[in-house]
């Protein structure tokens, strides 16, 4: 699958959010207000 995605330029749409907004992201998920996959920015852990 990874080879296929690479060959055909298939990528996921993501929303990068800081770790400080993890609770807000969870609430949005419960409400069904998520359009893209959440990705937490590791740099926000500092």
Question: Percent of the chain beyond pLDDT 70?
Answer: 100
Phi, psi of 16 (to 5 degrees): -85, 125
Residues 6+ apart with CB under 8 A from 44: 18, 19, 20
pLDDT at 35 > cutoff 90: no
C-alpha to C-alpha distance for 16 and 13, rounded to whole angstroms: 10
The average confidence (pLDDT) of the chain is: 93
In the prediction, which pLDDT does 3 show? 95
Average pLDDT over residues 2-24: 94
């Amino acid at each position: 699958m990874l080879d296929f995605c690479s060959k055909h330029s298939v990528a996921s749409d993501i929303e990068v959010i800081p770790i400080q907004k993890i609770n807000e992201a969870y609430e949005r998920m419960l409400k069904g207000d998520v359009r893209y996959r959440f990705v937490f920015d590791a740099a926000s852990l500092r």
